[in-house]
Chain A
Amino acid sequence: MKQNNEPHLIAALGICKRFHVGSSTLKILENIDLRLHRGEFVAIMGPSGSGKTTLLHILGCLERPSSGSYRLNGVDIIAASDDDLSHIRANKIGFIFQTFNLLPGLTVYENIEAPFLYRSCEHLQIKEKIMDSIAQVGLGERVKHKPSELSGGEMQRVAIARAICADPLLVLADEPTGNLDSGTGLEILKIFKKLHAGGAAIVMVTHDRNVASVADRIIYLKDGRRVDEASASKQQAV
């Protein structure tokens, strides 16, 4: 994968996503343009069902758009093969899901270790890196616990540690504070700030205006379209 000197980490143009349910076609995303500089922190806001998670999946190379063009780190994602996308996900992207998605049978440590099986870069000190990221999210004493023994906030932190462990270029977080009380949410937010200070680009979906205010920039989605802040807040008020 060649890496050219494109200024943007993400260059997505005219992204559309449609689902065919029976004979009808659902237009989930329509004509989304999005550019992101390296190391930029962007928050995505919008009402439920507006297509935020879907957009994040597309940005994270988990799903292909129905149409549009997308270049990530100079690589044409539309033209890339499935295996290429897998490698990009493994090495360049850290994904934090709305529902944590931890593996229930594995311990905290093993959950964070699992993606390393698919990473191609040689990490000679995987163990140190993992312990480091666990310490970073403040779960030092929970290394050997299973997810079922953790609280929601702790699970969220494990998911974050898993996503950031291999120093990805791009971190995609889907409502990382959505299930948490404001105190825990603030702690999580601190982690993101630190990550941002460390140079990672972050795209974070959130419903919380306070959380979004941490970002460099906020993008509003409504019914699968980008809208300006005014019309978004009008919706929010209803």
Chain B
Amino acid sequence: MKHLRVNSRLFKFVQLAVKSLLQHKLRAALSILGVVCGVAAVFSMLSVGEGAKRESLAQIERLGTRNIYVKAVPLTEMQQAKFRANLSRGLSLTDAHRIQKGCPDVQDAAGLRELKASVFSTMKEVTPLIAACTPNYATLMKIPIGSGRFISDPDMQESKLVCVIGHGVAGSMGALGRIGNYLRIEDSLFKIVGVLQRLESKVGKSGAIRLRNYNDMIFVPLAVANLASSTGTPYGALADPEVTELIIAVNDEKQVLRAVPAVKRIMEIAHGGAEDYQIIVPQELLNQSKKIQRTFNVVLGSIAFISLIVGGIGIMNIMLATVSERTKEIGIRRAFGATCTDIILQFLAESTLLTFTGGIIGILIGFGGVWLISAIAKWNTTVTMLALVVPLLTSIVVGLFFGLYPAYTAAKMDPIAALRSE
């Protein structure tokens, strides 16, 4: 019962605050500008930051936190000559075998080579990316098969002319894009043995690794890479095919960082110190990205803090003016029985209501800003509960904190002196 009364009293003070703020609408509106801007800034920065964070995490996770990438570095002719002298023959599937043999944490390794080739079919719109890969590539990259199968071990061993096509490629080929039909790449006919499931096409770059859009890809066995390539030797299959990328899967996420030095050592020895490859660890990228995020948060936090302090000082200024302007009112209220606490509550309610309204307006403007950012700059933005609650709570705290001194000044006035003031 007592609790109820306190609440209804607080409600009355809020009512009172609404009334007196409405008597000076323009002044109230101007005084909360600082808080509005601060809250809008904090809200949109939090939302943009969260969007960026999620995007980068999603990209890195698509690379697989269990994987280590070894990527061939495109070389100039001079570098090539120098590295040949070091007995390095570039990145090949043999490197994968060496790593698998030499490092017990490694579970599996896949190789992939991007090919430059022309595809002859009735395809419109899509220009497919052709990749020659080992059969385990789909497993390691978690590529879901829609119908048929992925490249198999026999395909690889027997250098079969088969291919697996992405959903987009199949769609643009129409009836020809079904399993059992043939596709001409350069001078050879490849039999379609599988079609991939449609995937959310998120293309992008994460660190040095390109995220491929599987919808627009054609996969062929790595063993027949040369037949499907416009640059390779025109005939025959290779025993040790050259790759542009090795994907090394470690048994467990936790062992990745332990496996990295071993992989590095093996590659160093195998390539005779030639730096014609690059090792990329998604987990390291992940940690890096988290670190960047943390720095971003600190910077963001301080900007928010400063802007809200500036807003709060504006509120304090206006509240001090209000208090001295309403000295007479304070005297009258005191004469009719308002205690010091009542006066404090009255002015705190006003300042807090001001900043809270500022907070709400700031959030609304922030929503607009976030919408604009994602519409114009095409950035990913995510509005979280945190982005809503933090600025709103801070606006309330700012109102309480910066309203306290003016309210205290009001309460400490001598009632008689206040009454006599004009």
Q: Which of A's residues lie within 8 Å of B, judged by CB?
A: 57, 60, 62-63, 82-83, 86-91, 95, 97, 101-103, 105-106, 114-115, 117-119, 162
Nearest CB of B to A165, in Å: 11
Query: Is A117 a contact partner of B338 (Cβ separation < 8 A)?
Result: yes
Closest chain B residue, CB of each to CB of A118: B337
Alpha-carbon separation in the docked complex, A88 to B335 (Å): 10
A-B contact sample (16 more), CB < 8 A, given A117-B12, A117-B16, A119-B337: A63-B416, A82-B339, A82-B340, A83-B341, A86-B339, A89-B335, A89-B336, A90-B337, A95-B335, A101-B332, A102-B332, A106-B19, A114-B333, A114-B336, A118-B336, A118-B337
Alpha-carbon separation in the docked complex, A32 to B419 (Å): 24
> B residues 16-34 with Cβ under 8 Å of A?
16, 19-20, 23
Alpha-carbon separation in the docked complex, A62 to B340 (Å): 13
Alpha-carbon separation in the docked complex, A119 to B342 (Å): 11
Interface flag for B334 (CB, 8 Å): yes
Nearest CB of A to B143, in Å: 70
List B contacts of A97 (CB < 8 A): 335, 419
Interface flag for B415 (CB, 8 Å): yes
Alpha-carbon separation in the docked complex, A15 to B339 (Å): 25
Nearest CB of B to A19, in Å: 11
Alpha-carbon separation in the docked complex, A99 to B257 (Å): 83
Interface flag for B108 (CB, 8 Å): no
Alpha-carbon separation in the docked complex, A57 to B418 (Å): 13
Query: Is B332 a contact partner of A86 (Cβ separation < 8 A)?
Result: no
List B contacts of A89 (CB < 8 A): 335-337
Query: Is A86 a contact partner of B338 (Cβ separation < 8 A)?
Result: yes
Q: A101-B332, A105-B20, A105-B23 are in contact. Are A118 and B339 (CB under 8 A)?
A: yes
List A contacts of B339 (CB < 8 A): 82-83, 86-87, 118
Q: A57-B416, A97-B419, A101-B419 are in contact. Are A87 and B336 (CB under 8 A)?
A: no
Interface flag for B186 (CB, 8 Å): no
Contact of B335 among A62, A82, A91, A119 (CB under 8 A): A62
- Chain B window 318-332, contacts with chain A (Cβ cutoff 8 Å), 1 for yes, 0 for no: 000000000011011
List A contacts of B12 (CB < 8 A): 117
- B side interface size, CB within 8 A: 24
Alpha-carbon separation in the docked complex, A167 to B20 (Å): 28
Contact of B337 among A57, A87, A103, A106 (CB under 8 A): A87
Nearest CB of B to A95, in Å: 6
Closest chain B residue, CB of each to CB of A102: B332
Alpha-carbon separation in the docked complex, A88 to B337 (Å): 7
Alpha-carbon separation in the docked complex, A57 to B337 (Å): 13
Alpha-carbon separation in the docked complex, A178 to B108 (Å): 103
Closest chain A residue, CB of each to CB of B329: A103
Nearest 7 interchain pairs by C-beta: A90-B337, A115-B336, A118-B337, A86-B339, A89-B337, A83-B339, A101-B332
List B contacts of A82 (CB < 8 A): 339-340
Query: Is A90 a contact partner of B419 (Cβ separation < 8 A)?
Result: no
27 chain-A/chain-B pairs, Cβ below 8 angstroms: A57-B416, A60-B335, A62-B334, A62-B415, A63-B416, A82-B339, A82-B340, A83-B340, A83-B341, A86-B338, A87-B339, A90-B337, A91-B337, A95-B336, A101-B331, A101-B332, A101-B335, A103-B332, A105-B20, A106-B19, A117-B12, A117-B13, A117-B16, A117-B338, A118-B336, A118-B337, A162-B336
Closest chain B residue, CB of each to CB of A105: B23
List A contacts of B23 (CB < 8 A): 105
Alpha-carbon separation in the docked complex, A60 to B12 (Å): 26
Alpha-carbon separation in the docked complex, A105 to B339 (Å): 21
